[in-house]
């Protein structure tokens, strides 16, 4: 399913699009290493306070509609 990921840290937010075969639930852990490259993980890690660089927690799941299809918007908090 088309998914918009919003990664949130204490000082930085970023968005990316991916296709996920599932929709995680609020409160579940989400493994970011499965989606992002090591350079992207390093960039996120630099803006987070004491983050291990492996996973984040799903803060919100919203179903949205653009011009022609539905997609899932996930807010993932890395702390």
Say whether 65 sits in a helix, a strand or coil: strand
Q: Report pLDDT digits (tens) over 23-36.
A: 889 999 999 888 88
Q: Judging by beta carbons within 10 Å of its beta carbon (0-12, 13-18, 19+), is residue 40 exposed, middle or buried? A: middle
Which residues of the chain, if any, have pLDDT below 70? none
What is the domain count for the chain?
A: 1
- Pick from 11, 26, 9, 21: nearest CA to 74: 26
Structural domain containing residue 34: 2-77
Tell if the pTM clears 0.85, that is, is over it: no
């Amino acid at each position: 399913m088309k998914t918009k990921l919003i990664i949130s840290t204490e000082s930085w937010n970023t968005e990316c699009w991916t296709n996920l075969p599932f929709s995680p639930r609020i409160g579940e852990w989400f493994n970011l290493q499965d989606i992002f490259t090591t350079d992207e993980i390093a960039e996120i890690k630099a803006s987070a306070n004491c983050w291990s660089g492996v996973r984040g927690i799903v803060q919100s799941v919203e179903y949205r509609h653009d011009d022609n299809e539905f997609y899932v918007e996930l807010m993932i908090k890395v702390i």
